[in-house]
């Protein structure tokens, strides 16, 4: 259904005219998220300020069969917030209040537009923090984190967003308000907060989110270990986990990403083939004892230089280099694709070797930065768009790498989501009955499929549709996004 002036009028009534954007040059701002390769111009962007306004907007879209896409800060890497052409974007930036801080129960209630790092900022004085820490945490929103089930370096020990979301107030696509989960642990009934977190905007819009906050550990130590190769570094990772230790973070960088990070932020990383960054936190007694053990393991696997950060400043610099690694690649390559795949930790050496071979075959450099502890790789394929055909082969290579992850018993995304970018690969991971059930679950929330349709699933499926039969979905015929 087109976005008629009458409907725009209704949106004006719902949120106030000044919070509805329809001027084409302003709409361009919202044509993509951090995955800039896919773009589509929406018909309107609404900025509601309250749950009631979100409900009103949803009702308008539902009654007119107009698809909408919820958007946080637009830092997503899989195109999850890319608009439907001519559809509505519900931008939650104005819903950015921290509604409640309950220290005795270690709970915080926020609106979706609250910035990830702001939560920690607010609870830090009482010695708490919010654990999930995507590299974009200084700009990304909690609502976006919920949509993508965002991870981060410290999720090895603390778990992903889903571990930290206890309850949600959700506006269903028809405008109905529902409440998922409870402030207490182990809520009863189906674990709907679990389904909603990571549903990439396809089930509705979260308007209130109850988060768990964590007591800041007594002490933190961060270690840098330099190896000749990522294979050696990988063996050290296995050694650490096999010893039964659970560091707060185990990050690995290969030579190329070290060069990039150095060029960008001068983190004083040793110039080596494989760099391991291990952080332990907890009671002082524990951290000191285990750091000793970790250093032994690293040495035994061939670490030729080991450094313990001696101050908070040193520690911050170590992390600055790691978190800047993606952006830093701009220093050494005109263009690059950041990939996101998961493999069983034990397959690290084989997969890395194979990535090296594929990179050589394709004649394209691949930099590897990853959360080694939970086998979440971020291979980055470097290329130059100006050279004819190179972007095409870069995309081909990055997809080949994802297939490699699947072959190794892993998956095509750890924390960036499927979104627009990877939906065509879902059938490589899931059988038809699995995808069909997921889509029927979606229909339980969104019978009209107007909430971020045409994302995540290889093809939208009508809610009435039986397994096996094939009814083309309107959006499918329309053809959703233009690829740049």
Match 């493999």 to its residue by tokens: 343
Shortest approach of a copy of itself to residue 135 CB, angstroms?
Answer: 16
How is residue 220 annotated by DSSP? Answer: E
Identity of the residue, 90 or 291, whose beta carbon is nearer to a copy of itself in the bound complex: 291
Identity of the residue, 67 or 417, whose beta carbon is nearer to a copy of itself in the bound complex: 417
Cα 483 to Cα 62: distance, rounded to the nearest angstrom: 28
> The tokens of 114 are what?
């609250």
Identity of the residue, 218 or 482, whose beta carbon is nearer to a copy of itself in the bound complex: 218
Shortest approach of a copy of itself to residue 143 CB, angstroms?
Answer: 18
Shortest approach of a copy of itself to residue 353 CB, angstroms?
Answer: 18
Shortest approach of a copy of itself to residue 61 CB, angstroms?
Answer: 18
Cα 8 to Cα 41: distance, rounded to the nearest angstrom: 16
> The tokens of 29 are what?
């701002």
Cα 114 to Cα 139: distance, rounded to the nearest angstrom: 9
Beta strands, E only, 151-196 = 165-171, 177-181
Shortest approach of a copy of itself to residue 409 CB, angstroms?
Answer: 6
Shortest approach of a copy of itself to residue 66 CB, angstroms?
Answer: 21
Structural contact between residues 295 and 306, judged by C-beta atoms closer than 8 angstroms: yes
Q: What 3-state DSSP class applies to 342?
A: strand
Shortest approach of a copy of itself to residue 392 CB, angstroms?
Answer: 25
Using alpha carbons, select from 416, 256, 251 the residue that is nearest to residue 341. 416
Q: CA torsion sign, 101 to 102 to 108 to 111?
A: negative
Torsion angle, CA of 286/288/293/298, rounded to 10 degrees?
A: 130
Identity of the residue, 327 or 441, whose beta carbon is nearer to a copy of itself in the bound complex: 441
b/e per residue 24-60 (b: at least 16 CB within 10 A): eeebeebbbbbbeebbbbbbbbbbbbebebbbbbbbb
Phi, psi dihedral angles at 381 (to 5 degrees):
-90, 120
Identity of the residue, 96 or 162, whose beta carbon is nearer to a copy of itself in the bound complex: 162
Identity of the residue, 125 or 244, whose beta carbon is nearer to a copy of itself in the bound complex: 244
Identity of the residue, 253 or 412, whose beta carbon is nearer to a copy of itself in the bound complex: 412
> The tokens of 110 are what?
């926020």
Cα 36 to Cα 38: distance, rounded to the nearest angstrom: 5
Identity of the residue, 52 or 262, whose beta carbon is nearer to a copy of itself in the bound complex: 52
Shortest approach of a copy of itself to residue 130 CB, angstroms?
Answer: 15
Identity of the residue, 124 or 478, whose beta carbon is nearer to a copy of itself in the bound complex: 124
Identity of the residue, 415 or 420, whose beta carbon is nearer to a copy of itself in the bound complex: 415
Using alpha carbons, select from 413, 338, 378, 150 the residue that is nearest to residue 252. 378
Shortest approach of a copy of itself to residue 263 CB, angstroms?
Answer: 31
Q: Where are the alpha helices (DSSP H) in 28-178?
A: 51-64, 116-123, 142-148, 155-158, 161-164
Shortest approach of a copy of itself to residue 314 CB, angstroms?
Answer: 24
- Taking residue 106's Cβ as centre, other Cβ atoms within 10 Å add up to 16
Shortest approach of a copy of itself to residue 348 CB, angstroms?
Answer: 11
How is residue 42 annotated by DSSP? Answer: -
Q: How would you classify the pairing of strands 376-383 and 335-338?
A: antiparallel
Identity of the residue, 168 or 272, whose beta carbon is nearer to a copy of itself in the bound complex: 168
């Amino acid at each position: 259904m087109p976005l008629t002036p009458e409907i725009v009028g209704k949106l004006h009534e719902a949120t106030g005219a000044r919070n509805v954007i329809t001027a084409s040059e302003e709409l361009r701002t919202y044509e993509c998220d951090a995955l800039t390769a896919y773009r589509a111009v929406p018909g309107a962007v609404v900025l509601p300020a309250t749950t009631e306004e979100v409900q009103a907007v949803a009702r308008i879209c539902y009654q007119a069969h107009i698809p909408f896409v919820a958007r946080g800060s637009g830092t997503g890497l899989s195109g999850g917030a890319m608009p439907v052409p001519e559809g509505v974007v519900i931008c939650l930036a104005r819903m950015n209040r921290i509604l409640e801080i309950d220290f005795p129960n270690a709970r915080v209630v926020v609106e979706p537009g609250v910035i990830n790092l702001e939560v920690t900022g607010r609870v830090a004085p009482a010695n708490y923090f919010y654990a999930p820490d995507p590299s974009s945490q200084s700009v990304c929103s909690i609502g976006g984190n919920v949509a993508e089930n965002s991870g981060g370096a410290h999720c090895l020990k603390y778990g992903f967003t889903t571990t930290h979301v206890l309850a949600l107030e959700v506006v269903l696509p028809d405008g109905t308000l529902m409440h998922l989960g409870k402030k207490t642990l182990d809520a009863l009934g189906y674990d709907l907060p679990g389904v909603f977190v990571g549903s990439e905007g396809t089930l509705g819009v979260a308007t209130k989110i109850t988060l768990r906050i964590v007591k800041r550990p007594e002490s933190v130590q961060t270690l840098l270990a330099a190896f000749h190769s990522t294979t050696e570094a990988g063996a050290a990772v296995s050694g650490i986990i096999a010893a039964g230790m659970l560091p707060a973070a185990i990050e690995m960088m290969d030579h190329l990403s070290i060069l990039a990070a150095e060029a960008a932020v001068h983190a004083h990383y040793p110039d080596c083939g494989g760099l391991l960054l291990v952080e332990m936190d907890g009671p002082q007694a524990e951290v000191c004892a285990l750091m000793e053990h970790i250093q032994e393991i690293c040495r035994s696997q061939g670490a030729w230089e080991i450094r313990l950060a001696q101050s908070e400043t040193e520690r911050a610099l170590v992390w600055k280099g790691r978190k800047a690694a993606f952006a830093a690649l701009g220093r050494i390559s005109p263009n690059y694709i950041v990939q996101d795949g998961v493999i069983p930790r034990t397959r690290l050496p084989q997969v890395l070797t194979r990535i090296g071979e594929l990179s050589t075959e394709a004649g394209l450099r691949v930099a590897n930065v990853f959360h080694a502890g939970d086998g979440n790789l971020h291979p980055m394929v470097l290329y130059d768009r100006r050279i004819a055909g190179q972007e095409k082969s870069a995309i081909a290579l990055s997809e080949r790498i994802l297939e490699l992850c699947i072959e190794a018993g892993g998956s095509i995304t750890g924390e960036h989501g499927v979104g627009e970018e990877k939906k065509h690969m879902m059938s490589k991971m899931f059988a038809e009955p699995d995808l069909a059930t997921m889509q029927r679950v979606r229909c339980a929330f969104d019978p009209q499929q107007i909430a971020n349709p045409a994302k995540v699933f290889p093809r939208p499926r009508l809610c009435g549709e039986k397994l096996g039969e094939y009814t083309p979905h309107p959006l499918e015929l329309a053809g959703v996004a233009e690829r740049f």
